[in-house]
Amino acid sequence: MKKIIVGSRESALAVAQSMTVVNYLKETLKETRVELLTMKTTGDRILDRTLDQVGGKGLFVKELDAALREGRTDLSVHSLKDVPMEVPEDLPLIGFSGREDPRDVLVLPKGRTEPDPSLPIGSASLRRSLQLQKLCPGFRIEPIRGNLQTRLRKLDEGQYSALVLAAAGLIRLGLEDRISRYFSPEEMIPAAGQGILAFQGRAGEDYRYLEGIIDSEASACAVCERAFTRELGGGCTSPVCAHAQVKGEKIFLRALYYNEETKECRTGQAEGNLKDAEAIGKDLAKTLRDADRGSEKNQ
């Protein structure tokens, strides 16, 4: 009997996400044995420092890449926002899932209706922290690491007044009731790829069995958002962020550019034909970067 082994991080969220793929394959490939192989990644082990201090979110895929190369797995499932902008040629991204709610949300300790201003708001990314400073003036914003359950435990123990998390993760784990407030993409631009699952495989292999779970609209958004971020040299720890939406044959992109030298943020929007998703992302990145450079020269 043919066998397909799906690789995943071992966190509860990663497993829940990967099991959607495993279950799909079990339903559609009746004569194939489908198994899940989980592993702890370097990014999961290092919890005492922020990601930008230890090498970025590429640390979350290192062990999964090795398993693919060695043939211990046939396919990896990732949260797309955790996948580095540059992917190895021998391990291409072969498709993207439909998108779960891409928004960021505010989560309060159990029993509270407002954040305690004497405690910090926990944020795992500079992207969120920069945008939170405008939304929540007067609050301290401090980093928080660990899987979703660990962060929620720290919140409920009284270490933080609130957390800002991705809605997608909470929804996929059945924890939607913990959400106190949704931030619209206009208030807080999500990370590129947020809410989308990425499927990664080995170059040259046949992955047509994934066709039924790959989503064309989410794929266009993924290409557009990652093109914006890649053009600016942004990695997974960069505050550069982009969010695309498909409406008919059009794609709309909202994005944020951050100048690390001046600490200035600049946001912009673009739209165009769906078939031009990648070019739209690149062009908006160039527009915002050029506008920022022009502003510096005039100062």
Taking only the tens place, the pLDDT of each residue in 129-162 is 999 988 988 899 999 988 899 999 999 999 999 9
Question: The domain 215-299 belongs to what CATH superfamily?
Answer: Porphobilinogen deaminase, C-terminal domain (3.30.160.40)
Distance (Å) of CA 43 to CA 49, 68, 195, 220: 10, 18, 20, 28
Whether 59 shows a pLDDT value over 90: the answer reads no
Q: Which residues pair with 284 in a beta bridge?
A: none
Which of these is catalytic: 44, 74, 82, 101? 82
Give the torsion sign (CA, 78, 83, 89, 95). positive
CATH 3.40.50.300 fits 1-97+196-214, yes or no: no
What would the mean pLDDT of 58-76 be, rounded to a whole number? 87
Kindly report the number of other CB atoms within 10 A of residue 217's CB atom.
16
Kindly report the number of other CB atoms within 10 A of residue 155's CB atom.
24
Query: Which residue intervals of the chain bear CATH 3.40.190.10?
Result: 1-97+196-214, 104-183
Kindly indicate the confidence band of residue 180, based on its pLDDT and cuts at 50, 70 and 90: very high
Q: Quote the mean pLDDT of the chain.
A: 90
Give the torsion sign (CA, 72, 75, 79, 82). positive
Q: Is 240 within 8 Å of 257 (Cβ atoms)? A: yes
pLDDT at res. 145: 81
Does residue 82 carry a catalytic annotation? yes
104-183: CATH architecture: 3-Layer(aba) Sandwich (3.40)
pLDDT at res. 294: 64
pLDDT at res. 291: 83
Whether 195 shows a pLDDT value over 90: the answer reads yes
Cα 20 to Cα 17: distance, rounded to the nearest angstrom: 6
Which two three-digit tokens encode residue 97? 């899932």
Taking only the tens place, the pLDDT of each residue in 5-37 is 999 999 999 999 999 999 999 999 999 999 999
Query: Which residue intervals of the chain bear CATH 3.30.160.40?
Result: 215-299
